[in-house]
A and B are shown apart, each in its own frame.
Chain A
Amino acid sequence: MLLTSLVVGATYGVIARQSGLSVLEASGSSVIIFAGAAQFAAVGLLQSGATPVEIALSVLLINLRHLLMAASLRPHFRDARGLRRLGLAYILTDESFAMGIGWFRRGHRDLTYYATFAALLWACWNVGTIVGAVFGAGIEQPQRYGVDFAITACFVAIVAIGVRHRADVVVALTAAAVAAALRLAGASTVAVVIAGAVAPVVILFGRDREIAREVEP
């Protein structure tokens, strides 16, 4: 998992540079935002000319799931006060949540395991970003080499790798199809993101009970 964080972080660094960000901006975004998929989305939206508010709203949509994770972790964080608690929140990711909640459910009470693992993930992500950004300098004529397609390919791969059950496939295909149709009809990329936020409704009333089991307290 740490190696994955390093490699995906480096991929992000390269993509950010290809999309016109400087090394400092690429690295700064990994420190300040520190959320994989949302950072790829932010870079893609920046490239397509979205405003900062539109970008932040899209990032918010992608990261809203943290609310449930933080709420599940809250009872286990009761010993952490003040700055320590704020720090534990900063390094909360899908991966650290999964490892942490597993640890606490096995009856452990100490926070060292979660904190160490989450901090290492943070370090790998940021080192990866810097390495990718430094070595991923701009390529001339990106269209000719297909590099302009790299960020879209990242979105495709993030979704495909993240599929857990049939409902994920249904949501992904619905969102992609609606977005493609809207974009072909001339809608902006931000309108497309909003359309994506509507797509999960298709599975809400289905019978697939697997959904959200991961974040049940």
Chain B
Amino acid sequence: MTVWIAIGLSGLATYATRVLPLVITLRGSAPSLVRRYLDALPTAVIAALAGAGIAVPDGSPTGGAEVVAAAVATALAVWRKNLLLAVLGAVLTVAGLRAAGL
């Protein structure tokens, strides 16, 4: 049930951001500072989740495998612009390094 409540609330929040400017009249345009902040926000929030997941992957601090795997994911993502490839590369790297005892 928690999952459905989370999905429902998230859906409402998302739809609100899409529909509000279309149904209510906003006077003037957003100041440049606000635009820049909103523009950088998704990158920052997702990067924060990434940083947290790398530092403490599973309740305890990383042994280093996750840091290397994140570097592999970044390299693959920049190189091929392919999410699936980057994730596969990172997962295989983590599995390999953990098997090696890192």
B-contacting residues of A (Cβ < 8 Å)? 7-8, 10-11, 21, 25, 28-29, 32-35, 37-42, 44-46, 51-53, 55-68, 70-71, 73-74, 77, 85-86, 88-90, 92, 143-163, 167-168, 171-184, 189, 192-193, 195-201, 203-204, 211-212, 214-217
Contact A179 B55 (CB under 8 A): yes
| A interface footprint on B13-48 (CB within 8 Å = 1, 0 otherwise) | 111111111110010011011011111111111111
Within the complex, what minimum Cβ distance (angstroms) separates A51 from chain B? 8
A-contacting residues of B (Cβ < 8 Å)? 2-23, 26, 29-30, 32-33, 35-58, 61, 66, 69-70, 73-74, 76-78, 81-84, 86-87, 90-96, 98-99
CA gap between A25 and B1 in the complex, in Å: 10
Contact among B17, B30, B36, B57 with A148 in the assembled complex (CB-CB below 8 Å): B57
A40 surroundings in chain B (CB, below 8 A) = 46
A to B contact number (C-beta, < 8 Å): 315
Within the complex, what minimum Cβ distance (angstroms) separates B55 from chain A? 4
B99 surroundings in chain A (CB, below 8 A) = 144
Which secondary structure characterizes the binding site on chain B? helix
With A156-B77, A193-B48, A196-B48 as given contacts, are A162 and B43 in contact (CB-CB < 8 Å)? yes
Within the complex, what minimum Cβ distance (angstroms) separates B32 from chain A? 7
B23 surroundings in chain A (CB, below 8 A) = 85-86
Within the complex, what minimum Cβ distance (angstroms) separates B15 from chain A? 7
Within the complex, what minimum Cβ distance (angstroms) separates B90 from chain A? 4
Within the complex, what minimum Cβ distance (angstroms) separates A24 from chain B? 9
With A61-B45, A85-B23 as given contacts, are A29 and B7 in contact (CB-CB < 8 Å)? yes
Contact among B14, B39, B58, B82 with A211 in the assembled complex (CB-CB below 8 Å): B39
Contact A200 B54 (CB under 8 A): no
Contact B51 A211 (CB under 8 A): no
With A160-B86, A172-B44 as given contacts, are A86 and B19 in contact (CB-CB < 8 Å)? yes
8 residue pairs bridging A and B, Cβ less than 8 Å apart: A56-B12, A56-B13, A67-B38, A89-B22, A151-B53, A152-B50, A153-B87, A171-B47
B92 surroundings in chain A (CB, below 8 A) = 146
Closest B residue to A70 by beta carbon equals B21
With A71-B30, A152-B57, A156-B73 as given contacts, are A58 and B83 in contact (CB-CB < 8 Å)? no
Contact B51 A175 (CB under 8 A): yes
CA gap between A49 and B43 in the complex, in Å: 22
B44 surroundings in chain A (CB, below 8 A) = 171-172, 174-175, 196-200
